Amino acid sequence: MTLNRRDFLKFSAGAASAVGLSTLAGCAGTGPAVGGARPKVVVVGAGFGGATCAKYLKLWDPNIEVTLIEANEKFVSCPLSNLVIGGARTIDDLTFSYDGLKKLVDNFVHDTVVGIDATARTLRTASGRNFSYDRLVLSGGVELQYDKIEGYDTEARKTVMHGWKAGPQTVTLRRQLEAMPDGGVFVLATPPTPYRCPPGPYERACLVADYFKQHKPRSKVIVLDASSDIVSKKGLFMAAWKKHYGFGTPDSLIDYRPSSKALKVNAATKTISLEFDDIKGDVINVIPPMRAAKLTELAGARPSEGKQAWCPVDFRSYESKTVPNVHILGDSAESNMPKAGAVANNTGKMCAAALVELLNGRPLVIAPVITNTCFSATSGTTAMHVAMVFRADKDHMMVSQPLPDKGISKVESEAEMKFMDSWGKNIWADTLNLKI
């Protein structure tokens, strides 16, 4: 590393403050394992956050015993899954085995965690197995709050999809669209902020409209937005809607309705009720409000009902600010960064880097810098992006300045769709330890 003296001093000043703070954090939590025992980390959830954390723990300190617990047999990528709903990809394109991770971690367990005792540092699973840990990493994504929408009960959920966790939901939603006759109406109800993948609903509107344009041109997409305006990449989405789908003309394939929060769903009549209006569709897609994963509640790390629904963390290590030795990654963490796959992947690395130091009794000295680059498709062949650099301290993930063009594309392009495709291949390989 070639740093000149001035840069070295500048860098060291930042490191000095990190040392001062993190030594305290290190003392409060678990230090090196005593008696020569290998330190134990249990990671729950092998999505973008947990899988990446487990992988980099083994790469950066093979001495750490890593157990990775995941409920699903296969990994299905949420990023790019709107392309399955639009018909440009299949779910098989986004489905991967965990074999690459199984080779790397000490124990890979297919099970569901049902109880966590953060004081005793143990957890138990649905099949009755018990695990102890020095440090616990929870990467459970989001919990969907069906009970916030009247009528969204288990019966309704058999036919009304959210499609916000990729897998069977994605496939069923695609089949419903294929079965819908030309001239039908697809109604998409977005969740209140914050939610997983801020541009996701608007991307989905694009890709369903793209399908209709090619195969069912008399059909329409109605977007019922819980927010008062498009919450992500607004200018770019509006431009794409106008360019590809006639937005703003009487023949528009997309009918966008802001401040239209879904309050009630009737699965039998395919009707979504707003405060003053009922909207009927041929296929309805209701994305419920979200909060931090249930796992975080089991650990006592999720704020109680009525407060912020996400878990406060120390951004240098992603350790919970309320429950020591429990680290919370990805969507469940309270953060000004978007709830996105790339962010989860990189927070997994931040947590792994911090754990390697803490479990070896060393202070945190890395002042983490990470990026988030996230692509959104605007049609089957075009895409655009958001790209930002963030710098962590204990309480913030600060956007590194300057931020040219506000960190988003100047314009959508076919070249960015090629990047989006490449991004998918590379992030899956990075997260799942796949061979390139």
Partner 1 sequence: MNKAFLLCGLLAVAQGAIASTDGVDKTVRFMAANCAYCHGPDGRSSSAIPSLAGMHKARFVGSMKAMKAGTQASLVMYQIAAGYSDAEIDAMGDWFAKNK
Nearer to partner 1, 243 or 257 (CB): 243
**Dihedral sign, Cα of residue 421, residue 196, residue 366, residue 44:** negative
102 near partner 1, judged by CB under 8 A: no
Minimum separation from the CB atom of position 342 to partner 1 (A): 5
Which DSSP state fits 184? -
Nearer to partner 1, 31 or 363 (CB): 363
DSSP string, 107-148: EEEE--EEEEETTTTEEEETTS-EEE-SEEEE---EEE-GGG
Distance from chain centroid for Cα 392: 19
CA pair distance 370, 374, nearest whole angstrom:
13
* Number of residues near partner 1 (by CB under 8 A): 61
Nearer to partner 1, 303 or 407 (CB): 407
According to CB under 8 A, which residues from 3 to 22 bind partner 1?
3-4, 7, 10-13, 15-17, 19-20
Tokens of 414: 């076919």
180 near partner 1, judged by CB under 8 A: no
CA pair distance 434, 436, nearest whole angstrom:
6
429 near partner 1, judged by CB under 8 A: yes
Question: What is the residue whose two structure tokens read 């314009």?
Answer: 411
402 near partner 1, judged by CB under 8 A: yes
Nearer to partner 1, 257 or 362 (CB): 362
Q: Which listed residue (93, 117, 282, 421) binds partner 1 by CB under 8 A?
A: 421
3-class DSSP state of 221: strand
Give the neighbor-by-neighbor strand order of the sheet with 271-273.
264-266, 271-273, 278-280
Nearer to partner 1, 13 or 126 (CB): 13
CA pair distance 431, 98, nearest whole angstrom:
10
Minimum separation from the CB atom of position 391 to partner 1 (A): 8
Nearer to partner 1, 17 or 269 (CB): 17
The pattern of x and - marking residues 348 through 377 that bind partner 1 according to CB under 8 A reads -xx--x--------xx-xxxxxxx-x----
Minimum separation from the CB atom of position 403 to partner 1 (A): 7
Question: Rounded to 5 degrees, what angle do the CA atoms 180, 186, 188 make?
Answer: 145
The pattern of x and - marking residues 25 through 64 that bind partner 1 according to CB under 8 A reads -------------------------------x---x----
Nearer to partner 1, 216 or 327 (CB): 327
CA pair distance 381, 414, nearest whole angstrom:
6
345 near partner 1, judged by CB under 8 A: yes
DSSP string, 228-240: SS--SSHHHHHHH
Nearer to partner 1, 313 or 370 (CB): 370
- Of the candidates 286, 241, 242, 238, the one whose C-alpha atom is nearest the C-alpha of residue 260 is 286
Minimum separation from the CB atom of position 392 to partner 1 (A): 11
Nearer to partner 1, 69 or 343 (CB): 343
Q: Which listed residue (21, 257, 266, 419) binds partner 1 by CB under 8 A?
A: 419
* Strand ranges, E, within 345-428: 369-377, 383-392, 397-399
Minimum separation from the CB atom of position 198 to partner 1 (A): 17
Tokens of 115: 């109880």
Looking at the DSSP assignment, which residues form a beta bridge with residue 374?
Answer: 386
Minimum separation from the CB atom of position 419 to partner 1 (A): 6
Tokens of 202: 């608007």
Tokens of 82: 């709107």
Contact residues for partner 1, defined by CB under 8 A: 1-4, 7, 10-13, 15-17, 19-20, 56, 60, 342, 345-346, 349-350, 353, 362-363, 365-371, 373, 385, 387-389, 399-405, 407, 409, 413, 415-416, 418-419, 421-423, 425-427, 429-431, 433, 436
